Amino acid sequence: MIHSLRFAFVGLLILAATQVAALGQEVYNDNVVIVLDGSGSMKEPMDSHGTTKMMAAKQALHSVLSQLPGTTHVGLLVFTNNTSQDWLYPLGPQDAQQLAAAIDSIQPGGGTPLGKYIKKGADRLLQQRARQFGYGSYRLLIVTDGEARDDRLVDRHAGEVMARGFTIDVIGVKMKKDHTLATKVHSYRRADDPASLTKAIAAVMAEVSAADTSDATGENAFEILAPLPAEVARAMVQSLAASGNHGIGEAPPVQSQADDGGRRTAPSPSTTGGPPPLSEIDSSTPGIVGFVAVVCVIAIIAVGLAVWRIRSRM
């Protein structure tokens, strides 16, 4: 019986290790939100052959995005007259056909509310970072041919996005002079013809797969968590990565006193521009003590269940 009990318990540990390893693979993705200028000026020709800026942008996106590895998640955010459909491709795994259709559907028109869309794209990246527990890389690629009409928001939001640990790349599409963001972001590239636009987007995407993700804990951390039940490991990592994911331009969440006898809870992250946030984690239990207690309870339940199963077969 003791031998069978040990076998059952080891089996539970192996199952938990497998689940946590799968969790590590699931959360370790690179994420790029492309903010594409869809203003009316993108209808202007970019070369002597009559290729417009938007035509060149579409060709470049088709060419480059089709070569990305599956671990790179892409989102396509376009500001045009149709603001109800600005997320032409929501940030997530690549679906070649849907992504190609989204690119083809772009119809330029309207102004350049770049500041508003920097926030929208970055807020979605913040939500994804919370979902991935801080693992992977996060990038905002801005492709634009003109200055923003909300320039104050651009300066304010761009600085905060970078302060949150995200990379911002800007490509200026046949601009008479460099964009004002040129000296304020991680990289700036000029694209004065279709070929150079494709080259610029390809250069940014090449950096994505080679990005240094040393700011995250690293995939090896999941080896340490492997003996633990998957949900316990998930809660541990999430609690460490939950801070700093509130919306751009918004006040950080502050713990508030609840009306349930002194229990303190943290507000949910912002839901601006994306899916609902992760479930709240109660912060009232001291970290180490709470964790040890949870592990002990789960171990007792697992052993009890194994004993019950063994006895029921006797």
Average pLDDT estimate for 49-61: 96
pLDDT of amino acid 206: 95
Residue that wins the pLDDT comparison between 16 and 169: 169
Greatest pairwise CA separation for the chain in angstroms: 86
Residue found by looking up tokens 């041919």 in the block: 145
**Structural tokens at position 303:** 């052993």
% of the chain with per-residue pLDDT over 70: 61
Average pLDDT over residues 55-79: 96
Topology classification of domain 29-209: Rossmann fold (3.40.50)
If pLDDT is split at 50, 70 and 90, which confidence band does 43 have? very high
Domain boundaries, the chain: 2-25+218-313, 29-209
pLDDT at 63 over 50: yes
Of residues 298 and 148, the one with the higher pLDDT is: 148
The two beta strands, 30-37 and 137-144, are: parallel
84-87: which pairs have CB atoms within 8 A and are 24 or more residues apart? 86/117, 86/120, 87/273
Task: Please answer whether residues 91 and 274 qualify as being in contact, where contact means their C-beta atoms are separated by less than 8 angstroms.
Answer: yes
Give residue-wise pLDDT tens across range 92-105. Answer: 999 999 999 999 99
User: pLDDT of 131-184, one tens digit each?
Assistant: 988 889 999 999 999 999 999 999 999 999 999 999 999 999 999 999 999 999
Could you tell me the two tokens for 189?
Answer: 């590239």
Q: Is the pLDDT of residue 26 over 70?
A: no
Per-residue pLDDT at 65 exceeds 70: yes
**255-288 residue pLDDT tens:** 555 444 444 444 444 444 444 443 333 333 333 3
Q: Model's pTM, two decimal places? A: 0.69
User: Which residue type occupies 30?
Assistant: D
> C-alpha 132: how far from its chain's center?
7
The CA distances from residue 133 to 190, 207, 248, 255, in Å, are 34, 22, 18, 20
Q: Looking at this protein, which amino acid is placed at residue 169?
A: D
The stretch 234-259 carries a mean pLDDT of 65
Question: Three-state SS for 174?
Answer: coil
Query: What pLDDT does 259 receive?
Result: 45
